[in-house]
Each structure stands twice: as C-alpha cells, then as structure tokens.
Structure 1
C-alpha cells in the first residue's frame, strides 16, 4: 500500500512539473523559430523618440 502512495506521488509530481515547464519551453522554442529578430530595445528607443522635446513634469525641484 505504501508503494502505491509513493508511485502516486511520483506520478503527480511528474505531471505537475511537466505542466509547469511545458509553457515556458514551448514559448522559448517558438521565439527562437518564429521571431523576426527585432532589436531588444526597439520599444524603448521608439518611446524615447516620441518623448523628445517634452517638458519634465512632477517631482521636486532642486
């Protein structure tokens, strides 16, 4: 009976572990295969380009 619970626990941990890591693994594979190789800082650069000439707002004046 104890061996049944040990096997059940092992199987449950295996299924939970596979479920937990299957999403990130397939996401990584998908990004490697289907990404368009854009610059990592593309959105940061675009935001900085949009904000050129803006006045700073808020905060304390020194």
Structure 2
C-alpha cells in the first residue's frame, strides 16, 4: 500500500510539473511569435501614463 501511495504521489507531481512547464514554454513561444514589436509598447505607454503619480500605500521610510 505504501508503494502505491508513493507511485501515485510521484505521478501526480510529474503531471503537475510537466503541465506547468508546458504552460510557461507555450507562453514564451506565443509572446515571441505573436507578440511582434508591440510587446514593450504597452509597458512604455503604461509608464508614460503613470509619470507624475504619487506613490500610495506601502511602508514609510
């Protein structure tokens, strides 16, 4: 019975790990293939919108 539980746990960890790894790899490929040059444009536009905003929350130094 102990070997069954150990096998089940090992298979569960492998399935979850491989699924997570495939998701990260698919996301990276998708960003490179379909992202185009506009990938960093959104980040730059967001930074321009937020210039001059006050920081709120967090710890006071």
TM-score (norm 1): 0.54
Structure 2 residue ranges without an equivalent (≥5): 55-61
Q: 2 CA distance for matches of 1:34 and 1:22?
A: 17
Structure 1 pair 3–34 and aligned structure 2 pair: CA distance change class (3 A): same
Partner of residue 28, structure 2: 28
3-state SS of 1:18 partner: helix
Q: Partner of 1:5 in structure 2?
A: 5
Higher RCO by CA contacts (8 Å cutoff, separation 6 or greater)? 2
Residue 38 of structure 1: how far off its partner (Å): 2.6
Query: Which sections of structure 1, spanning at least 5 residues, go unmatched?
Result: 51-55
Alpha-carbon distance, 1:39 to partner: 6.2
Residue aligning to 1:38: 38
Corresponding residue pairs, total: 52
Structure 1 residues 16, 45: closer, same or farther in 2, change over 3 A? closer
Higher helix residue share: 2
